[in-house]
Amino acid sequence: MKPTAPPIPTIAPLLVGMIAISFAPILVRYSDAPVSVQGMYRMLFTFLLMLPFGAKYMPAFKRLTLKDWWLLFWAGFFLALHFLLWMASLTYTSIASSTILLSLEPVFVMIGTFLIFKDRASRLAVIGMVIALAGAIIVGSGDMSISQEAVFGDLLSFLGTVAVAINMLIAKQILTRVPAYLYSLIVFFFTFLCFLAYNLSMGIELTGYPRKEWVVFLLLAIIPTVFGHLVFNWLMQYVKATTISMSVLAEPIGASLLGMLLFSEMVSGMQLFGGAFIIYGLYLYLRAEKAEAGASPRKEPAPTPGLTSSAPPPLTKEG
Q: Report DSSP letters for the chain, one per residue.
A: ---SS-SS-THHHHHHHHHHHHTHHHHHHH--S-HHHHHHHHHHHHHHHHGGG-GGGHHHHHT--HHHHHHHHHHHHHHHHHHHHHHHHHHHS-HHHHHHHHTTHHHHHHHHHHHHH--PPPHHHHHHHHHHHHHHHHHHHHHHTT-HHHHHHHHHHHHHHHHHHHHHHHHHHHTTTS-HHHHHHHHHHHHHHHHHHHHHHHT---S---HHHHHHHHHHIIIIIIIIIIHHHHHTTTS-HHHHHGGGGHHHHHHHHHHHHHH--PPPHHHHHHHHHHHHHHHHHHHHHHHHHHHSPPPPPPP-TTT--SSPPPPP---
Contact 95/265 with Cβ under 8 angstroms?
yes
The count of C-alpha atoms lying within 13 angstroms of the C-alpha of 36, restricted to the half-sphere facing its C-beta, is: 15
CB neighbourhood size of 101 (10 A): 30
pLDDT of the residue at 255: 75
Which residues have CB under 8 Å from 181's CB, separation 6+?
50, 53, 54, 57, 230, 234
Which residues have CB under 8 Å from 213's CB, separation 6+?
31, 32, 33
Give the span between the Cα atoms of 110 and 105, in whole angstroms.
Answer: 9
Cα 310 to chain centroid distance, Å, stands at 27
pLDDT of the residue at 314: 30
Contact 118/301 with Cβ under 8 angstroms?
yes
pLDDT of the residue at 42: 95
Give the span between the Cα atoms of 215 and 236, in whole angstroms.
Answer: 30
pLDDT in tens, the chain (319 residues): 445 666 777 778 888 888 888 888 889 988 999 999 999 999 999 999 999 999 999 999 999 999 999 999 999 999 999 999 999 998 888 887 787 777 777 778 878 877 777 777 678 878 887 887 787 777 766 666 567 788 898 899 999 999 999 998 898 888 888 988 899 899 999 999 999 999 999 999 999 999 999 999 999 999 988 898 788 877 777 776 666 666 666 667 777 777 777 777 777 777 778 778 877 887 787 777 667 666 644 444 433 333 333 232 232 233 3
